[in-house]
Amino acid sequence: MLVALLPGDGIGPEVIVEAVRVLEALDIHGLIFEEAPIGGAAYKEYGHPLPDKTLDLAKRADAILFGAVGDPDCDALERHLRPEQAILGVRKELQLFANLRPANLFPELADASALRPEIARDIDVMIVRELTGDVYFGEKGMRTTDDGLRQGYDIMAYDEAEIARIARAGFETAQARRCKLCSVDKANVLETSQLWRDVMVEVSADYPDVELRHMYVDNAAMQLVRDPGQFDTIVTGNLFGDILSDLASMCAGSIGMLPSASLDAGGKGLYEPVHGSAPDIAGEGKANPLATILSAAMMLRYSLDMSQPADRIEQAVAKALADGLRTADLGGSATTRQAGDAVIAALAH
Ligand code: IPM
Ligand code: MG
């Protein structure tokens, strides 16, 4: 089993190192790692954020463990050379259309949530975000209006096949949970969303055991803060999912805790923390590696068919937190390395 390691920028390399240490501590037979540069790091070395050899490794690998991309030094580059284009390129090239972003609260972290503990306690939601379409990948550009004003534009579009495919991922995810699916859109304003809603209803006929409801994205943002416990599985488009998953992460304690999986139709996947490259704390050893460690657990479960070691990692993270592990984002002072050590020590129990 070949695992591609794409550490990327900022805190990416620091958190990937800890996840690899945890995987190695499990001593899984036949797991091989190969690393390649991506993002600003790759631009600086090869003049492109997604060099051919990196894309090639991503395609060859059985699964991909990804850190983060984003580097302020690169913000002034033309868009196609910016670090963010690398992750968008991998998602598109590998057709990783289904992004699973769970947000649940480890009980020990109830006081780290931005919400009152009695509200935060109930959060256990899986956001299924479409990842290869929407305004992210539509025609975009800069033009000049008839009045001579600069105008930026990005076209939002989904065709029915793209919607049906993520709808199925949403229904199947809900079936493996509590059979409640909330589809989030903006059908009161957007045609894209009207089609989204229509297709959701059509596909729902194949999943009679799942209860489907619809919610506008503005209301969904409010409801996630007001009463997150009402949600089981949320399915939504690329842009709304980007925003709601950051929001859900703060409800669940810290964005430093949340893993994600990006899957293709065959179960191959890229696994990455929901957080970004955090350039302000890069290299300081302060980053929380738990989101990446939990992403490695998702990788074992979803792409490598190893649910037992996946469970062990998740239990070890819970034990480390129960034993008092707190990195800076959780109000503590543990370093990235100490956090990795604490999880490895907990694995032994
Ligand atoms: C995410 C990130 C990316 C996105 C950026 C880095 C392009 O915010 O994975 O949520 O917008 O999808
Ligand atoms: Mg995001």
Summarize pLDDT for 165-212 with one digit per residue, the tens: 999 999 999 999 999 999 999 999 999 999 999 999 999 999 999 999
pLDDT higher than 90, residue 112:
no
Q: Say yes or no: CB of residue 84 within 6 Å of ligand 1.
A: yes
Domain enclosing residue 277, as ranges? 1-101+258-349
> Is residue 108 in a domain?
no
Strand ranges across the sheet with 98-104: 32-35, 2-8, 63-68, 269-273, 259-263, 98-104, 124-130, 233-236, 180-185, 211-216
> Domain count of the chain?
2
Q: Say yes or no: CB of residue 14 within 6 Å of ligand 1.
A: no
Q: Is 73 a catalytic residue?
A: no
pTM: 0.94
Domain boundary among 222, 251, 280: 251
Q: Are residues 234 and 270 in the same domain?
A: no
Query: pLDDT at position 110, please?
Result: 83
Domain boundary among 251, 275, 292: 251
Distance 220 CA to ligand 1 centre (A): 20
Regarding beta strands 259-263 and 269-273, do their DSSP bridges make them parallel or antiparallel, or are they unpaired? Answer: antiparallel
Q: Are residues 144 and 93 in the same domain?
A: no
pLDDT band at 107 (very low <50, low <70, confident <90, very high): confident
Kindly report the protein residue whose alpha carbon is nearest to atom 9 of ligand 1: 274
Query: pLDDT at position 252, please?
Result: 84
> Is residue 321 in a domain?
yes
Overall average pLDDT of the 323-343 stretch: 96
CATH code at position 218: 3.40.718.10
Query: pLDDT at position 81, please?
Result: 96
Q: Which of the ligands is closest to the CA of residue 101?
A: 1
The token duo for 88 is: 């968008």
Query: pLDDT at position 267, please?
Result: 86
Q: Are residues 242 and 132 in the same domain?
A: yes
Q: Are residues 226 and 275 in the same domain?
A: no
Beta strand spans in the chain (E): 2-8, 32-35, 63-68, 98-104, 124-130, 140-144, 150-154, 180-185, 211-216, 233-236, 259-263, 269-273
> Is residue 88 in a domain?
yes
Q: How many other CB atoms are found less than 10 A from the CB of residue 293?
A: 29
**Which pLDDT tens digit goes with each residue over 67-103?**
999 999 999 999 999 999 999 999 999 999 999 999 9
Mean pLDDT rounded to a whole number for the chain: 96
Overall average pLDDT of the 289-300 stretch: 97
Q: Is 305 a catalytic residue?
A: no
pLDDT higher than 90, residue 217:
yes
Atom of ligand 1 nearest to the CA of 83: 6
Query: pLDDT at position 130, please?
Result: 98
pLDDT higher than 90, residue 249:
no
Residue whose token pair is 């919400």: 115
Q: How far apart are CA 175 and CA 56, in angstroms?
A: 34
Q: Are residues 131 and 73 in the same domain?
A: no
Contact 259, 275 (CB under 8 A): no
What one-character DSSP code corresponds to residue 327?
B
Domain boundary among 190, 219, 251: 251
